[in-house]
Structure 1
């Protein structure tokens, strides 16, 4: 029985970029599938500055544009990692007929019973500042209002994010990871505030 080729939309997590999916995208394409890997705003190689991102929907705009471009008679397999769970949930809400299935890969998964604010609250309880090891939290003077920025530290990256990767994984990550506005996604005090 022949398997119909699918269209996968792979969405990267916080502070990362579309590069995260390069191995999986290559394998899926080699198997005959179509793959789209949108670069979310101010992420990866996207030149947008974090202070130019006005809202979470704005941050997700490249995904929403990719979904809008999907023909009306086509459905995609929507895959999100980490913070991209919020993004794919938004895309599912805006384009319900264009999604055949959504896959949340160690991703946040909001629902009617579990709101974004509740997820943020639980995440903050389970991940105190100390969890982030040598990462730094700071207030960016370029961003109006109290919006701390997180910069992921090399020890955090090596032990919490890339511990199972070959040595090239952390090197690629260190070169392309960007500081991420943190308060928009889950408020917490900065190290400076403590």
Structure 2
């Protein structure tokens, strides 16, 4: 992925990198990516939707990905491959927000804007796990049939996580088409929230991640990361701009792809 992106991009190209959430893959962006790419020649965008480690079609097993940084490595490789002086707009969804934050911490000079699409957005005070744990604490839903299990008896690996079918239907994809719900059920893989690792990590720094320009896109009908928690994260870590999408569930890139594309194009034009 990294090498192909470098070869495909000439000087001055605008880069948009779409980062998926837990148990999903780059496939979850198919509607948004295809719409963005259809205007790529005119708008000079290069769009990438990499599979993070042990996700999508990435061949690694979860047991081969012991840390959150290992999980995020494919995104870091794409950023590392950008030609000197070029930047990318990073769009993180759900857990992908923490991957975007890590990328901004490590490569702030390569990030034009960090976009959080109903995503976990950490601050520069608490461990990265805090925004996940607070969402669990304040949520009014039950986890239904979601499963979180130890991977090993010694506790050296992070617990595995998988969305259950009922949770997927009622709280994750509830506004998506039957076709996209079927696609999601077919393609999700066992993943992890990497809480054990994220709880041990120091906060992201003010002089790296903290200096990167940020946009939060609030999805008002999200039942997984509720609007209340999304707005708490914004109040807790103020951003450059807040956008809203009405009628979007947690999988906004599938339930409201045109609105998501409009937000991304507006951001890319203003911040790149």
Quick one: which of 78, 81, 95 aligns to 1:69? 81
Unpaired runs of 5+ residues, structure 2, are 1-11, 200-272
Q: Which residue of 1 aligns with 2:55?
A: 43
Distance (Å, rounded) in 1 between the aligned partners of 2:154 and 2:30: 32
Q: How far is the alpha carbon of 1:101 from its aligned partner?
A: 1.0
Q: Which residue of 1 aligns with 2:189?
A: 178
Q: How far is the alpha carbon of 1:143 from its aligned partner?
A: 7.6
Quick one: which of 168, 187, 191 aligns to 1:157? 168
Cα offsets for 1:118-161 (capped at 9, x unmatched)? 22331231248x62212223333488447432221111111111
Residue 60 (1) aligns with residue 68 (2): no
RMSD value, Cα: 2.3
Aligned length: 183
Cα offsets for 1:10-55 (capped at 9, x unmatched)? 0000110000111111111111221011100111111211111021
User: CA contact under 8 A between 1:76 and 1:100: conserved in structure 2?
Assistant: yes
TM-score (norm 2): 0.62
Q: How far is the alpha carbon of 1:56 from its aligned partner?
A: 0.6
| Residues 1:146 and 1:20: Cα distance change in structure 2 (over 3 Å) | closer
Q: Which residue of 1 aligns with 2:220?
A: none
Q: How far is the alpha carbon of 1:185 from its aligned partner?
A: 6.5
Unpaired runs of 5+ residues, structure 1, are 188-194
| Residues 1:166 and 1:65: Cα distance change in structure 2 (over 3 Å) | same
TM-score (norm 1): 0.85
SS at match of 1:97: helix
